[in-house]
Amino acid sequence: MNNAVSGFSKLSKEQKIEWIANEYFSNPAEATALLKNYWNSDAALQKLHDEFIENTITNFYLPLGVAPNFIINGKNYTIPMAIEESSVVAAAAKSAKFWATRGGFKATVLNTEKIGQVHFFYTGNVKKLEDFFIQIKSKLFSETESITKNMQKRGGGILNIELKNQTQKLPNYFQLHATFETKDSMGANFINSCLEQFSKTFKAEAQLYESFSAEEKNIQIVMSILSNYVPNCIVRAEVSCPIADLAEKKIENPREFAEKIIRAVRIAEIEPFRAVTHNKGIMNGVDAVVLATGNDFRAVEAGVHAYASRNGHYTSLSHATIENDVFTFWIEIPLALGTVGGLTSLHPLVKFSLEMLEKPSAQELMQIVAVAGLAQNFAALRSLTTTGIQEGHMKMHLNNILNQFQATVEERQTIKNHFKDHVVSHSAAVDFIKNLRGNR
């Protein structure tokens, strides 16, 4: 079958669905009904979602859960989490509760600098380029004034612009490397607009610069774009308590428990195969809050993993120590987040999430997100070094299987009772349900 189509974007939503249903499905009516079943009955709300992207055909649901009882810098939060993976929200809530009685989480924003670059090629005398840059640098600021005016009112703007010579890595390659403060917005549009203006000003001024030869005047701009690597936009989150205070029902020997966590973290610090999974667990918490608050989780993911490799090998984002019988567990991650602009005032559930967090500033949100990551990591390490991860996972998985079989309330109770003291596996659960039904 030739599935190529031209002018698809110009078709109406109904026509797009019709084309897809006829082209790819043996039962087009069923495929169409499925897509329409996920439409919102409120036409205005549906239109809002349709217009977030192009070629929208329906909505793709993710659950929005909440993890209550997080104490961060003495304040109580209920944290929204949008995620499909079972156990993540439960683990966050469990960590929150555990640390709430042990001083809570402490979080600090270390810095908030964002970065953008104009990448260009220049052939000629490098000293002349450096002199030219010094001469026109103030123009790069003045010609972006209409873009930066509002940001400056909010206390942000362009912090600095540097000329970087990258010719050691790639012949004739230079950059305008700019740093920004974008306050409560993530700042992508602001930064990209500034950069595009820099490139125009830079190119135009080069053509007028008398010391340049014809070749030197001909600066080739390749692209102007923010960097999602933000190693100077860092937040630190931490938990700490005397080792003895780690004791609870399931932690009978708190010193042994603390030492196991320290060892697990050391392994992630030196062993990339483990570090990736360790950090993936952290990102379970980070991404879920980033998504629920309408931020760009792809940007966060890319930046965080680059940061985890900043010393030349991929390593753990979290660390732990025992000093003077005090256990401390912390994380430092780069997070470029916004609480204004973008989806934050458009998506009703994002607005809801931010309101539930009591309308945080971007810095406060950085703290909340880092704490969610640390909480998740603590819960994962706790399970991994004690009961193993499968116990909790399979209990949640059992729920999914029960849903798949549309188990009745009565069946659920019988099955849950049975698996209280039996190991859950997919096949054991399925067999048990089938037997139960067969025996009736």
Name the site residues for ligand MEV (rule: CB under 6 A).
Answer: 85, 277-278, 280-281, 284, 380, 384, 389
- Biggest CA pair distance of the chain: 94
Q: Which of 13, 139, 393, 416 is catalytic?
A: 393
> Would residue 393 show up in a list of annotated catalytic residues for this protein?
yes
> Would residue 49 show up in a list of annotated catalytic residues for this protein?
no
Q: Which of 85, 245, 271, 332 is catalytic?
A: 85
> Would residue 319 show up in a list of annotated catalytic residues for this protein?
no
What does residue 325 show for φ and ψ, rounded to 5 degrees? 65, 20
Q: Which of 184, 196, 296, 364 is catalytic?
A: 296
How far apart CA 34 and CA 61 sit, in angstroms, is 13
Residues 6+ positions from 80 with CB-CB distance below 8 Å: 64, 65, 66, 289, 292, 293, 352, 353, 356, 357
Handedness of CA 394, 397, 398, 401 (dihedral sign): negative
384 vs 402 by CB, closer to ligand MEV: 384
Q: Which ranges of 105-165 would DSSP assign to H, the alpha helix?
A: 126-142, 145-153
Query: Which residue in 174, 138, 175 sits closest to 158, CA to CA?
Result: 138
* HSE-CB for 331 with a 13 A CA cutoff: 32
Which residue, chain included where needed, has tokens 């973290």? 265
**Which positions are annotated as active-site residues?**
85, 280, 296, 393
